[in-house]
Amino acid sequence: MLWPCFCCGTVEFTEQRIEQHRWSVFRYIAVGMIVFAVVSLTVSPILGLMAGVVVAVGAKANFKQWGNWSAGKEGEVAVTEALRFLPNEYVLLNDLMLPNGRGNVDHLVIGPNGIFVIETKNYSGYVKCWGDQWYVNRREIGSLSKQAKRNAMAIRNTLDMVFKDHSTRIPFVNALLVFTNRNGRLNLKRPTIPVLRSSDLVRFIAGYNATKANSFASSELTRRS
């Protein structure tokens, strides 16, 4: 059984974002209550209520982001639990910050048959893919597959820098996209990377054949994402 580990000194990116948006919501609500009290006492209760509501509405975007990041964290925990069933020769690193603060990698798996960068999504709605174009509930979103491929390329470039003075051949870094929510419906057409349910992840990684890996060029990632 594989046991997950965390890279020393790594900041837990997802937890940071959850805390950031949660406290933003609390601040907006607190300011709204103060504005309501002050305007109600100095002008009129009705205007105070209106002013307080206007300020509190500013918390809406942060509240939505708080919910999104919290759902994402649930998905990451589900994938971590699933990956525990990989054999002992695999190593799992969770929530790695990319160089220069350019986001994070949800999961990095290193094993005898390759390196795998896993992007986790916990969407509950209707998800459609056409190549590198992605839609959730029929609304186009940023490309999930390009996001995963950029993360894989960032890991590969980092490894190249670490081992540049050694005659070490760095293997291809595989980008995987994993959906964890059982209520999510997937409609996949020509995805450019493997797209899996969390229940299929261990079987896919353990049975992966590195000699049949598909590669992608950096030019693919410069188009709209």
In DSSP notation, 75-141 reads: HHHHHHHHHTTS-TT-EEEEEEEPGGG--EEEEEEEETTEEEEEEEE---SEEEEETTEEEETTEEE
pLDDT digit string (tens) for 51-80?
A: 556 555 555 565 555 455 454 467 778 888
Q: How many CA atoms lie within 13 A of 16 on its CB side?
A: 10
Q: How many CA atoms lie within 13 A of 162 on its CB side?
A: 9
Q: What is the mean pLDDT of residues 161-188?
A: 84
The number of domains in the chain is 1
Domain that holds residue 74: 4-221
Q: What is the mean pLDDT of the chain?
A: 75
Residue 3: pLDDT over 50:
no
pTM here is 0.66
pLDDT digit string (tens) for 80-132?
A: 888 988 988 999 988 888 776 667 888 999 998 999 999 999 888 899 999 99
> pLDDT: is 10 or 29 the higher one?
29
